[in-house]
Amino acid sequence: MSMTESAADAAALQTVEGTASEAWGERLTIGFGMAAAMWGVGFLARLPEVELPGAVVFIVLHACLLLGGLLAGSIARAAQAGLITGLINLLILGAVLRNLDGTFNQYALLWVPATLALSAGLAALGRALAGERHRSVDGDPWPMRFGLVTIGATLLLIGVGGSVTGYEAGLAVPDWPNSFRYNMFLFPLAKMTGGIYFEHAHRLLGTLVGLTTLVFMIYVAGFREQRTWLRVAIVIAFVLVCVQGLLGGLRVTGRLTTSMDAADLAPNTTYAMIHGTLAQVFFSLLVLVTCALSRTWQRSPQIAGGWSRNGVLAILLVLVQILLGAILRHGEATWALHLHYTLALFVAIVVGLLAIRSWGQEQQRPVASLGLALLWTLGAQLLLGFMALAAIMIDTSEDGPHSLQVIVTTLHQTMGAILLGACVGVVAWRHRLGVDRPGPVVETDAMASQA
């Protein structure tokens, strides 16, 4: 065989492998995306303020499968993505089918194949209903989209974690990793009431985020990505999510034990503060990874850019604010409240300058777009900060936390994660495009093609 033929065969093999990898990326991204959507809808539907009828919840949950199937490139891939969703949902199927007395529904075994078949069938139906003119979503590669799914699931988890703190439900389930001595995935859904609902839902969603991050790491770092720094960053993200799970458990028990005996437990508020802060660091790392996986990033010119001092300062200030917020939500530190609201002024100035300067970079569209988004996020966070201050002044000494307080403070905490992630994204893009390097930036054809 000639060298030319060998090179052609190698190129063909690389094309086939690339196509197969893209197909798997499509299945995994849509499959995990539908699962995250269903878990999020399920959580919201059973909130005490909502409590939708079971039939309505069932319809809305399975509508997620129909809509997810629309994104697939073929009926076969939609069915495969639906099968992945069904497999993920098996994690909580046992809890749905378990009775209050600990026994299982007599048809429990039939629900396993039924769940898998229904998930695959509805996703395939969604794709079929789109018709032949439908095309799979164009644009960035599937690894980047998988990153967006992981970000979305993490943001949901941060919000649910905020509700746990808001309703003071962090110790509603006294043991870990079990739940009232049940296997966490087999704790009856019927027993998830009051504070137990928020705490146990938080644990389940944490498992979903951990699983999503694990598969994301294997797919991207193991099979798709060649950049060493990015592969390391994804591995670090997975390590962080594992540490997060451990910190969450130790916040409840204080030590590694499965006991429910109060004498063996030592709940630790410090772990709770670290847990809440580290979650937002993890979220920001996912934002950085996802930016680097985008097609625009990979096609951008290699410029030896400097780091924005304004941007780095903004990230540090927001991190300090997040830590102070965690101290406030887990304690009665009046000094932290005064420092938190005083520092908010400096955060507004520093982050605002970063946003405005980035928005003005019209020749580098990613920087300009993120700058505008950062400006809107900052405004929303400041508004939520004032609303949170007003909400916590409501006297709830007798009735416990008011729903309005929980909603506003949770939104404020969640928006803090988005603000930190936006700062990280802006700084990363400014570095990538050489916005902050010494001397003028000369626009290249690659830069111009982004506009």
How far is Cα 438 from Cα 5, in angstroms, rounded to an integer?
48
Average pLDDT, the chain: 86
Q: Which residue has the higher pLDDT, 403 or 144?
A: 144
In 10 A of CB 444, how many CB atoms? 11
How far is Cα 167 from Cα 409, in angstroms, rounded to an integer?
11
Cα–Cα nearest to 127, from 82, 164, 179, 75: 75
User: Which DSSP string do the residues of 231-289 spell out, in sequence order?
Assistant: HHHHHHHHHHHHHHHHHHHHHHHSSS-----GGG----HHHHHHHHHHHHHHHHHHHHH
The pLDDT tens digits of the residues spanning 50-82 come to: 888 888 999 999 999 999 999 998 899 999 999
The pLDDT tens digits of the residues spanning 288-325 come to: 999 999 998 988 876 666 788 999 999 999 999 999 99
The pLDDT tens digits of the residues spanning 2-51 come to: 444 334 433 433 433 457 678 889 999 999 999 999 999 999 998 888 88
Interval 195-223 mean pLDDT: 94
Beta bridge partners of 98: 104
- What pTM does this model have? 0.89
Q: What six digits make up the tokens of 295?
A: 């097609």
Beta bridge partners of 179: 182
**Helix (H, G, I), strand (E, B), or coil: what is residue 98?**
strand
Residues 430 and 308 sit within 8 Å (Cβ to Cβ): yes
Cα–Cα nearest to 124, from 62, 79, 68: 79
The pLDDT tens digits of the residues spanning 78-122 come to: 999 999 999 999 999 988 888 887 788 888 889 999 999 999 999
Cα–Cα nearest to 114, from 64, 62, 185: 62
Beta bridge partners of 182: 179
How far is Cα 332 from Cα 47, in angstroms, rounded to an integer?
27
Q: Which residue has the higher pLDDT, 263 or 382?
A: 382
How far is Cα 83 from Cα 88, in angstroms, rounded to an integer?
9
The pLDDT tens digits of the residues spanning 229-239 come to: 999 999 999 99
Residue with token string 């798997």: 24
**Which residues lie below 8 Å from residue 298, measured CB to CB, with a gap of 6+?**
292
The pLDDT tens digits of the residues spanning 330-376 come to: 876 778 888 988 999 999 999 999 999 999 887 888 899 999 999 99
